Amino acid sequence: DLYMACGNRTEVETIVSEVSKHARCLEDKLPVMLRKVVFIGTLSLHAEGISYARSVVQLCGSSVPKNPGPLQIMFKLSIVRRLIARLTDDDIVNLPAVTNEKEKHLMQLYSRIGTYAVMMDWGSLGMWCALRAAQSSLLHGLSSATPMALTLLGVIERAFGNFKEATRFGRLSTRLVEERELGPEAKAQAYFRVCFFVLHWSESLDGPLSRL
């Protein structure tokens, strides 16, 4: 994190390489690999970040479609909608924290890929990854990636014209970071994305902007 803060890519790459070689198991490698994904994103190298994150997802035994088609997105959306239909907002806020380390890092990776894809205007990939991250959170528990996933889910529902549902997920995202200990990074991401991409469709600008 210190080298990331200093923008020292050479040292970041060295540390990731050394940990990858000498770590005892995948779970020991994932934290530094995820930090590299985050670091690449801070350099605005979103395509590279997506490519590297894909490789890490594959190490975890999962995959990310290169260019998800409409049927893949609608299928994933139907799964998430069915899961959410069983839960109230309070149920979601009170979900237990994820305990599976690999699944926790996968949530982060899907959310990062989804965010970077949105930055690249790769809409279908962004949608698929957001839905995958939301699905994982609902099945396995909350993580610091959950607020971002719910925000992106709100963006998807907004794209389908479902402004009420979009607002619900935006507010859920901010509730999570206010009521659960998910870390300052999750809080900053949630407020930024919710206020700029979701709530301004259903609230006066004074509301979202005041949160920032």
178: nearest Cα among 195, 164, 191: 191
* Average pLDDT, integer, range 184-208: 69
Residue 164 has pLDDT above 70, yes or no: yes
Mean pLDDT, all residues of the chain: 86
pLDDT band for position 196 (cuts 50, 70, 90): low
Neighbours of 49 (CB within 10 A): 25
What's the distance, CA 190 to chain centroid? 10
pLDDT digits (tens, 9 = 90+) for 71-120: 999 999 999 999 998 999 999 999 999 999 899 999 999 989 988 998 89
* CATH number given to 67-211: 1.25.40
Q: Which band of pLDDT confidence, cut at 50, 70 and 90, is reported for residue 141? A: very high
Backbone angles phi, psi at 96, to 5 degrees: -70, 160
Averaged pLDDT for residues 171-192: 85
109-113, 134-138, 140-144, 201-205: segment of lowest average pLDDT: 201-205
